[in-house]
A = this chain, B = another copy of it.
């Protein structure tokens, strides 16, 4: 059976794609960056700020939410959108990636991944079927298949084994998703590490099963940027033109721009909020470390021409003071400044694709980054 398609490809500029993904909770303009609200909250931001910054969709982490407050509880409370008050489109990962990175005594079998909670040590089994059940309980608009993600560098045999297991799990996830209510989407995840032919085998296997969209997983896990981009180059051409493509866990503004240039539609990353908490701002002229003493007496804002009020109005001296003093407001301001920068980048990308000028936008954006921050006073 053919899956309903909620994605429209609206235009293209070279390989960069402009699209629209429709969910019962609203429309997602692509290319889209999804801020990460791990535990049902963005760290340091109110939902209204995420919305104001221009985000159409956010990501929730299934692993964290199933442990606390629990998927059944969120379902009883009306689902994740209502629970969090975000009330917009939401994608959930499958939990697999966090199981690999956070859980204790992890054991992967054909049937499932078994682990102990990092909070209270409780024994938990996450099977492909349970990963889908949990995501449907959460009520996310886009669910992800359970997969096994291998850290790079890795042996080819390990990459191959994990890719094939992920394909078998993809099939079980698809079956488990058959009872999902209308309007919910399920994405498959291409694995295959840094081995081009395994990436292509994975993509073809997923397409045969059939998904609402296709993610590229297992990248941004320690490999150099060239490897990541090369893997996108190997994979994207294999993927169906009419379905959304999501590059998981990516990345820096530069990673995103380069991946859009290779035909990717969706992204997520904790970097804007995490770096914000550590005193680093993303701007049109690259990243700025506000801990640096050069900012202590600098009355200038991060970017006088930004459309985001805090970026335009807060002095570097004030941000420096807040960061150095450990005031929550420092992390709050830099997190919203960074989310706003990421969203303004996406908005610029979408406008450029729409105008057929993506390549010149890309060159200009890279030139600004290369130019670097304004000189110290």
Chain A residues close to B by CB (< 8 Å): 39-46, 68-69, 73, 76-78, 83-85, 296-297, 299, 313-315, 317-318, 320-322, 324-325, 327-333
Contacts and interface: CB of A to CB of B under 8 A. Distances in A.
B40 A85 contact: no
Given A39-B321, A44-B328, A73-B297, 18 more contacts: A39-B327, A41-B325, A41-B327, A42-B329, A46-B332, A46-B333, A68-B321, A68-B324, A69-B317, A69-B324, A73-B296, A76-B297, A78-B299, A83-B315, A83-B321, A328-B328, A328-B331, A328-B332
A83 B317 contact: yes
11 contacts: A39-B322, A39-B325, A40-B318, A41-B325, A41-B327, A46-B329, A68-B324, A69-B317, A73-B297, A77-B297, A77-B299
Nearest to A309: B48
Given A69-B296, A296-B69, A297-B76, A43 B328 contact: yes
Nearest to A329: B41
Nearest to A64: B325
A41 B325 CA distance: 10
Contact of A314 (B45, B85, B314, B330): B85
A239 B193 CA distance: 78
A324 B67 CA distance: 12
A42 B327 CA distance: 8
Contacts of A41: 322, 325, 327-330
A43 B76 contact: no
A43 B83 contact: no
Among A45, A68, A329, the one with the most B-chain Cβ atoms within 10 Å of its Cβ is: A329
Nearest to A83: B318
Contacts of A327: 39-41, 43
A325 to B, nearest CB: 5
A326 to B, nearest CB: 9
A320 B322 CA distance: 28
Contacts of A330: 41
